[in-house]
Amino acid sequence: MMMAANLSWATTATALVAAVTISKAFKFVSGLKAVDYLPGLWVPFQPLSLLGVLAPERSWNPGVIFVWTWRHTRNIYRRFGSDTVSVIPFFSGAPSIYTRSMDVTKQVVTVGHKTGAFGKTDDMGRAFLFWGPSIVVASSQDQWRKHRRIAGPAFNNDTYQLVWNATQKVYSDMIDCEGWVEKGTTNVPRIQSLTTKFTLLIIATCGFGLPFSWGEPPSHDGQMSIQQCMEIITLRNTFAIAAPKWAWKLPLPWVRQTRQAFDTMRAFMNSHVQARREAINSSADDDTSKDILSLFVRASENDEGKRRLDDKELIGNIFALLFAGHETTSHSLAATLGFLSLHPSLQDEIVEQVHEVTKGRNNGEITFDDYSRLDKALAAFYEGIRMFPSGVYLIREAKQDTALNLSGIDEEPKMLPVKKGTSVVVDMIGVHYNPRYFPDPEEFKPARWYANSTSNAYIVDGEDHTGFSIGPRSCLGKRFATTEAVCFLVLLLRDWRVEPLLSVNVSTGERETKEEWRERVMQAKMTLTMGVRDVPLTFTKRV
């Protein structure tokens, strides 16, 4: 009797395994057909799926940023001899097409947006949708236009003037509060500790109109600081997206801390939205507040009917603004300063341009009107973004059966049929390190972005294909970020030389070389966006 039962269980288990195997085989073949058998990777999990993110990075599981970690060793584009390849999972996830071709990117992101052939997926903005609908995650064109109508007018020259002035003030506060004035040389073990706080204060001032200083970072009712909240939210976004409601009540310290961070952030945004709305509706608002939250709320209240944003939509847009204006700019500034520390001559070029622009001024003041003439600082920032794009992927889903032209310029059309529902992943690391567009892609060369550059007109004409995305849905906050970055960089480099903080081998006493420092430090790490590892720098006062 026992033997019969064991045989029955064995038969059942064998049948289940066979059924699952056959099901996955059909899934795999279906995935191959969806991309018309385009050569590429065969993996168990789609790298951007939950299992692909959670499973350890191995040769069989590439990981979320394999386009960075494999770019030298197992570069998928070199391996398959094409700038557009497939990634077919046979266990979990949907088939997808990865591309580092700007021609294909334009077909998907720009033309596809206009024709409706491609659009954003619901999944790609889940981390932001957690807070509410926003311009970042709007999947339909109607939704995007609704949010764009409210958000667009907030980004104007008055806002950028406000950003410039706030950057000057926060820079001065930083130097005073960090005690740099009394020091000739300052070591900063992790420059992100400064850039993160700096960008948060700018967005708190210009985004929310809050009068915070370096010594008084923003918080809500004296609880966890907003900077602490943002750091926790960034690190634990996967838990927030995937965890069921009951998991938030687990009696674990890190779960309680996560819940506090999310609750504090939501309360912070809610309170300011309500306060601003009440002021506007009670006529207490004098229509002179230029911070972005005031402009958002005022524009929404002045709109009518379905075009008005509700509280969830306002908070969704505010979080997108807060996050994009804080974390991504912080990452990019850290990367830019890391690379500049390796190139003293590039620092000197920026400083020389600053002196040229301010020549004849008694106090050497740098004003917002100088922005367009400080293109060397802007170029360095663009190059930092190119080498460490915060937005690694632009993901679009085929909304109908369509086709992509994979041929190069002046070549016969090579059409790839794409089934409805197939994702096309624009690999921005692949684009930014593609020698077709960026000669010597591993080298930090800001000159490739100069307005008068003739080395590659394609780049100059299409500079939006940096970390600010491309096409009609490119980042609204681009000028906000570049204004802040240019002002910060020219002030900092005018006053301080920056060098790598080299480590010393405890056993031998030998100091690492700059080449070794770059290999160790200037590597990517991934949270909600991609950034550079902790960057240790030394600042020496210019005389």
Which residues contribute to the annotated binding site for heme?
475
Axis-axis angle for helices 478-495, 192-208 (nearest 10): 130
The token pair at 11 is 């038969």
Q: Residue 291: which of 161, 453, 109 has the closest Cα? A: 161
Q: Catalogue the long-range contacts made by 243-246 (C-beta closer than 8 Å, 24 or more residues apart).
A: none
Give Rg (Cα) of the chain.
25
Longest CA span, the chain = 101
Task: Provide the CA 533 distance to its chain's centre, in angstroms.
Answer: 15
The CB-side HSE value for 238 (13 A sphere, CA atoms) comes to 14
What 3-state class would DSSP assign to 201?
Answer: helix
Q: Rounded to whole angstroms, what are the CA distances from 229 to 29, 103, 235?
A: 45, 40, 10
Q: Rounded to whole angstroms, what are the CA distances from 295 to 200, 218, 298, 329, 505?
A: 19, 20, 5, 22, 54
Classify residue 243 by burial, with Cβ atoms within 10 Å: 0-12, 13-18, 19+. Answer: middle
Please state, in angstroms and rounded to a whole number, the distance separating the CA atoms of residues 502 and 516.
9
Please state, in angstroms and rounded to a whole number, the distance separating the CA atoms of residues 209 and 215.
17
Known binding-site positions: 475
